[in-house]
A and B are shown apart, each in its own frame.
Chain A
Amino acid sequence: DAGVIQSPRHEVTEMGQEVTLRCKPISGHDYLFWYRQTMMRGLELLIYFNNNVPIDDSGMPEDRFSAKMPNASFSTLKIQPSEPRDSAVYFCASSRGAGHTQYFGPGTRLTVL
């Protein structure tokens, strides 16, 4: 299995631009999670999906953030407009079942100038 795939691995953009991060979960996993990691705040859960349906988005910082999962093999996290404080590493993870082992992607390192 290829594991969780994320793209791009690195993204540098200017403030105000739209950023789209992509994730392909492991086939057969029914849960998908988006996390953000910074030195100051550690690892934060932004949103998670079960069977493509968003279950809890209480971690999404503000309306500038949105996430979709149009099918079982693809999810996006969009930031529009981006701000310098959004700079972080964004991880996608998937699992088979609730509360089970999560498999993380390599992350997308986002820098907003």
Chain B
Amino acid sequence: SQQGEEDPQALSIQEGENATMNCSYKTSINNLQWYRQNSGRGLVHLILIRSNEREKHSGRLRVTLDTSKKSSSLLITASRAADTASYFCATDENAGNMLTFGGGTRLMVKP
């Protein structure tokens, strides 16, 4: 499988619930990023976590990174219908110049 695989592929929750998405990768990294894509739009950067960080917060977003397991998770708390989108993780595999994106998790938040 490719670098940066998200799990689950699709997630459907009710407004107000928390949403957790996971990402696994294979090589060493300098950083891992999470992006969001609304239908028909380009990707928008949400948060970047460096390899020496374990947890990072931004508003209702919480990202964790476990380099020993080569995995990351994105938690969206108190979800809203407007959070409905696809979420992608991206890694600079082998600390390279480019990002490798996973297949994404499609999140649907029902009002």
Contacts and interface: CB of A to CB of B under 8 A. Distances in A.
Interface of A: 4, 31, 33, 42-43, 45, 48, 50, 55-56, 91, 93, 98-107
B45 interface: yes
A71 B45 CA distance: 25
Contact of A107 (B42, B45, B99): B42
- The A contact surface, by secondary structure, is strand
Contact of B104 (A42, A98, A101): A42
Nearest to A41: B103
B71 to A, nearest CB: 19
Nearest to A3: B42
A108 B41 CA distance: 10
Nearest to B45: A101
A42 B86 CA distance: 11
B3 to A, nearest CB: 11
25 contacts: A4-B42, A33-B98, A42-B101, A42-B102, A42-B103, A43-B104, A45-B98, A45-B99, A45-B100, A55-B97, A93-B42, A93-B43, A98-B96, A98-B97, A98-B98, A99-B95, A99-B96, A99-B99, A100-B48, A101-B33, A101-B48, A102-B45, A102-B90, A102-B99, A107-B41
Given A91-B42, A99-B95, 12 more contacts: A4-B42, A33-B98, A45-B100, A48-B98, A98-B98, A99-B31, A99-B98, A101-B48, A104-B42, A104-B44, A106-B41, A107-B41
Nearest to A9: B40
B96 to A, nearest CB: 7
Contact of B88 (A43, A45, A93, A103): A43
B30 interface: yes
A45 B99 CA distance: 9
